[in-house]
């Protein structure tokens, strides 16, 4: 049996469904999971172990047998903790079959098969009774069902069902309680991830300003949370407007409701400003007394900032208010947290909803198209005035009064820059209905609906009639396409350039004129943990999980790079940046593969965790835009990454194992990289080696 999996195709700019081996989706889910990260989360593991010991002890002190229900057992770690703590029996629920199979093996390897039963079902399908999965209800409920938003993985419905059908009334629960906190801030940087700002263009006639349509101004934005490593956001990037407010708590030892609800908290602003963004996180208390606590608080709200536990499976939340609102110090406001069974969102009100008779608000949904087309980093990229200025300056050097421009990028403002800077005629291709609708709104708001021609079709279907009989003298692209996942997927621009070759004038200018793929060997401060084997976790052997993840990562014939926003994940450069491949957009896509081999010398001491790869676009001979490094690497190797793009990371397996000693010096990383024109993909292999002679 085969399965179909979506993969970005750089030759078509589309996500296509490819036939894969029947085990492909399993392997992908395991390979990209957070299991390794969770096993390395020592703070989490210790707190769970302490909480489980305390819960088992409380039940035993009442003279009862300790029967544990572990929902979402994963590796079986929490179940093994429970049995080690004295539990009489544990029912470990795991819906994902490969993981359930691994849990059975791990439980057996550690000698707990007689005390732990792994049940491969969703918890809502588990039966209780003489012939059921469990003979009786459990009196201890252990779970790890949480995501960054706390409830986003269906924790509330799972708890609601468990209390009704699987556990005794007033059972012991680990964790016992969760509390969600929020802090209101003003932040131009974070607000730029949600709204389109006016964009300024200096022209020969003075400054032109591209203004957002009123629909974008009024739109409440995307309803989903933006989860990030908030500790990597500089305190200078936001102004705190409120204290940290405890918004709501969930007591997991009692009946839980998944019904929609809201909670309001009155506060007096700490400063006057524009209320724009809510920063949010949660903590879990493992015991009723609240003495065993695991918190996601960022450093400025943490009781021990120097003792922060790095983790990627739980981060912090950024929520955007539907509209920015002025608040004045000395007045009283209400911050309201709303939630349904899976999502949380916030609103700001003058009085509490209870006082004014309001009921629970529906979850806000984007109605302007922009938040459906542009993700949060893309909003930030478009709002980056320095970046706009760089494109405008490059355009000035290639535009002439008789330029006929064709712009090819999804939802780009480049066509407007070309028009304002003096192009005679401007066309823009918007292949999707969403981008076509959005750009029409933006052009209309700026009185350009009759000045820039939108062509809603795929570039390869372009006709002379679409261009009103004109030949294109300037082909433009950022390039940016919404289907791109890895940096080189935007090479779709090269395929577009090839497809429209017949519509280009002889000697037509292409901007960017070329692109190059760059790479650098790095040592991550923390990101290595997500791919590092654990071996032993709190005294339990989890090598089977390590082997399972490794097998999943090795499932494909060639190792793949992964996209990561490296501004959130600090690293040190161990080698100099190196150009691997160059792509000349002034020529059509070649028929034969483009290959490169070489080595990168390691110039700084450290553990070589992986290779970072990124693209640089050469707009003109004198102007280059980088999707990776923005500044030269510092003496100590610290890196400054483009915050609007994800870079690609190729992890080097041996150096991810903390048990493997650092290799001697000097060393190098050799590489073989190949661009395949028929697929638009890049295959690569990197190996640690001695420096070649």
In 3D space, the residue among 256, 313, 226, 246 whose CA is nearest the CA of residue 35 turns out to be 313
Burial 140-170 (b: 16+ CB within 10 A, else e): bbbbbbbbbbbbbebbbbbbbbbbeebbbee
Q: Which residues are catalytic?
A: 144, 153
In 3D space, the residue among 88, 80, 91 whose CA is nearest the CA of residue 119 turns out to be 91
Domain ranges of the chain: 3-32, 34-144, 178-369, 384-501, 514-689
Q: 145 near 175, Cβ under 8 Å?
A: no
The predicted structure's pLDDT at residue 549 = 84
DSSP state letters, 611-638: EEEEEEEEEETTEEEESSB-SPPPTT-B
Residue ranges of the chain whose pLDDT lies below 70: 1-7, 15-29, 31-32, 353-360, 555-558, 658-666, 691-693
Rounded to 5°, angle at Cα 349 from 343 and 354 = 80
Query: Could you report the per-residue pLDDT of 477-533, keeping only the tens digit for each?
Result: 999 999 999 999 999 999 999 999 999 999 999 999 999 999 999 999 999 999 999
The predicted structure's pLDDT at residue 667 = 86
DSSP E strands in 157-272: the ranges are 167-174, 177-186, 199-203, 206-210, 226-228, 239-240, 245-251, 261-267
DSSP state letters, 634-664: PTT-B--B-TTSPEEEEE-GGGG-TTSPPPP
DSSP state letters, 261-326: EEEEEEE--SS-EEEEEEEEEEEEESSTTS-SEEE---GGG-S-GGGPPP-SSS-EEEEEEEEEEE
Structural tokens at position 137: 């209800």
Residue 514's alpha-carbon distances to 507, 573, 598, 624, in angstroms, are 15, 26, 22, 10
What's the CA gap between 626 and 608, in Å, rounded? 23
Q: 569 near 513, Cβ under 8 Å?
A: no
The predicted structure's pLDDT at residue 509 = 98
The length of the chain in residues reads 693
The predicted structure's pLDDT at residue 359 = 57
152 phi-psi bin (left φ>0, alpha ψ -120 to 50, beta other): alpha
Cα 104 to the chain's mean position, in Å? 31
Q: 58: how many CB neighbours lie within 10 A of its CB?
A: 16
514-689 classified as CATH 2.70.160.11: yes
Residue showing tokens 């577009």: 496
What's the CA gap between 66 and 81, in Å, rounded? 13
What's the CA gap between 372 and 222, in Å, rounded? 7
The CATH homologous superfamily to which domain 34-144 belongs is Vaccinia Virus protein VP39 (3.40.50.150)
Q: 474 near 406, Cβ under 8 Å?
A: yes
Alpha helices in 186-248 (DSSP H): 188-191, 214-218
Domains 34-144 and 384-501 equal at CATH topology level = yes
The predicted structure's pLDDT at residue 4 = 46
Beta bridge partners of 183: 279
Crossing angle for the helix pair 42-61 and 77-84, to the nearest 10 degrees: 40
The DSSP letter of residue 224 is: S
596 phi-psi bin (left φ>0, alpha ψ -120 to 50, beta other): beta
384-501 classified as CATH 3.20.20.70: no
Phi then psi for residue 489, to 5 deg, are -65, -25
Phi then psi for residue 76, to 5 deg, are 85, 10
What's the CA gap between 113 and 135, in Å, rounded? 17
What's the CA gap between 321 and 208, in Å, rounded? 29
Q: Is the peptide bond preceding residue 666 cis, with omega within 30 degrees of 0? A: yes
Phi then psi for residue 108, to 5 deg, are -65, -45
In 3D space, the residue among 129, 68, 123 whose CA is nearest the CA of residue 94 turns out to be 123
What's the CA gap between 48 and 144, in Å, rounded? 9
Q: 591: how many CB neighbours lie within 10 A of its CB?
A: 7
Using CA atoms of 36, 42, 44, 47 in order, give the dihedral in degrees to the nearest 10. 150
Sequence-distant (6+) residues with CB within 8 A of 458 are: 431
Question: How much is the CA Rg of the chain, to the nearest whole Å?
Answer: 28
- Indicate the SS3 state at residue 472: strand
- Indicate the SS3 state at residue 691: coil
Structural tokens at position 23: 């085990």
The DSSP letter of residue 364 is: P
Q: 424 near 401, Cβ under 8 Å?
A: yes
What's the CA gap between 540 and 96, in Å, rounded? 21
Q: What H or E segment, with its residue span, contains residue 60?
A: helix 42-61
Q: 600 near 519, Cβ under 8 Å?
A: yes
Residue 433's alpha-carbon distances to 8, 370, 490, in angstroms, are 19, 12, 20
The predicted structure's pLDDT at residue 358 = 57
Query: Could you report the per-residue pLDDT of 30-45, keeping only the tens digit for each?
Result: 766 778 899 999 999 9
What's the CA gap between 667 and 664, in Å, rounded? 7
Structural tokens at position 523: 């040592």
- Indicate the SS3 state at residue 669: strand
In 3D space, the residue among 585, 380, 369, 619 whose CA is nearest the CA of residue 478 turns out to be 619
pTM for the predicted model, two decimal places: 0.94
Q: 536: how many CB neighbours lie within 10 A of its CB?
A: 11
DSSP E strands in 32-78: the ranges are 67-71
What's the topology of domain 178-369? Answer: 2.70.160
The predicted structure's pLDDT at residue 5 = 52
């Amino acid at each position: 049996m085969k399965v179909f999996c979506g993969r970005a195709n750089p030759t078509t700019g589309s996500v296509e469904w490819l036939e894969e081996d029947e085990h492909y989706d399993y392997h992908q889910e395991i390979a990209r999971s957070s299991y390794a990260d969770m096993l390395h989360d020592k703070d989490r593991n210790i707190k769970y172990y302490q909480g489980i010991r305390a819960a088992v002890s409380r039940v035993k002190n009442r003279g009862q047998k300790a029967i544990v229900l572990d929902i979402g057992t994963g590796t079986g770690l929490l179940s093994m903790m429970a049995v080690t703590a004295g539990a009489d029996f544990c029912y470990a629920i795991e819906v994902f079959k490969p993981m359930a199979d691994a849990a059975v093996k791990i439980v057996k390897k550690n000698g707990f098969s007689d005390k732990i039963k792994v049940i491969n079902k969703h918890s809502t399908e588990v039966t209780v009774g003489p012939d059921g999965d469990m003979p009786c209800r459990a009196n201890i409920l252990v779970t790890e069902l949480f995501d960054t938003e706390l409830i986003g993985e269906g924790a509330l419905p799972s708890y609601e069902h468990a209390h009704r059908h699987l556990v005794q009334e007033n059972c012991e629960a680990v964790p016992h309680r969760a509390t969600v906190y929020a802090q209101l801030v003003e932040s131009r940087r974070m607000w730029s991830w949600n709204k389109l700002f006016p964009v300024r263009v200096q022209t020969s006639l003075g400054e032109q300003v591209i203004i957002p349509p009123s629909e974008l101004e009024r739109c409440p934005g995307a309803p989903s949370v933006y989860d990030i490593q908030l500790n990597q956001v500089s305190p200078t990037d936001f102004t705190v407007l409120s204290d940290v407010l405890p918004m709501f708590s969930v007591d997991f030892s009692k009946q839980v409701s998944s019904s929609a609800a809201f909670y309001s908290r009155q506060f007096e602003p700490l400063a006057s400003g524009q209320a724009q963004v809510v920063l949010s996180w949660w903590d879990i208390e493992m015991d009723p007394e609240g003495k065993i606590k695991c918190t996601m608080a960022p450093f400025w709200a943490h009781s021990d900032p120097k003792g922060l536990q790095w983790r990627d499976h739980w981060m912090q939340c950024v929520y955007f208010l539907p509209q920015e609102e002025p608040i004045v110090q000395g007045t009283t406001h209400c911050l309201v947290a709303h939630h349904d069974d899976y999502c949380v969102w916030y609103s700001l009100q003058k009085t509490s909803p209870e006082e004014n008779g309001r009921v629970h608000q529906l979850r806000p949904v984007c109605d302007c198209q922009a938040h459906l087309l542009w993700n949060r980093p893309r909003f930030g990229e478009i709002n980056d005035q320095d970046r706009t200025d760089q494109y405008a300056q490059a355009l000035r050097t290639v535009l002439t009064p008789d330029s006929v421009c064709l712009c090819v990028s999804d939802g780009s403002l480049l066509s407007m820059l070309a028009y304002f800077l003096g192009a005679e005629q401007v066309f823009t291709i918007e292949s999707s209905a969403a981008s076509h609708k959005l750009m029409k709104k933006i052009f209309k708001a700026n009185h350009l609906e009759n000045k820039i021609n939108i062509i809603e079709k795929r570039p390869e279907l372009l006709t002379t009639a679409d261009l009103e009989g004109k030949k294109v003298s300037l082909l433009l692209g950022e390039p940016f396409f919404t289907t791109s996942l890895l940096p080189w997927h935007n090479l779709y621009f090269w395929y577009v350039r090839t497809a429209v070759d017949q519509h280009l004038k002889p000697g037509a200018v292409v901007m960017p004129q070329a692109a190059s793929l760059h790479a650098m060997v790095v040592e991550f401060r923390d990101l290595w943990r997500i791919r590092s084997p654990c071996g032993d976790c709190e005294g339990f052997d989890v090598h089977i999980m390590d082997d399972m993840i490794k097998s999943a990562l090795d499932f494909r014939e060639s190792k793949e790079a992964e996209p990561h926003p490296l501004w959130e994940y600090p690293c040190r450069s161990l080698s100099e940046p190196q150009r691997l491949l160059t792509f000349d957009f002034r020529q059509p896509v070649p028929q034969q593969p483009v290959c490169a081999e070489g080595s990168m010398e390691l110039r700084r001491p450290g553990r070589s965790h992986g290779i970072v790869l990124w693209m640089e676009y050469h707009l003109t001979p004198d102007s280059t835009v980088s999707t990776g490094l923005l500044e030269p690497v510092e003496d100590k190797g610290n890196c400054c990454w483009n915050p609007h793009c994800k870079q690609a990371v190729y992890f080097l397996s041996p150096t991810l194992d903390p048990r493997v000693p650092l290799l001697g010096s000097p060393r190098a990383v050799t590489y073989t990289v190949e661009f395949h024109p028929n697929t638009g993909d890049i295959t690569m292999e990197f190996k640690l080696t001695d420096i070649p002679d």
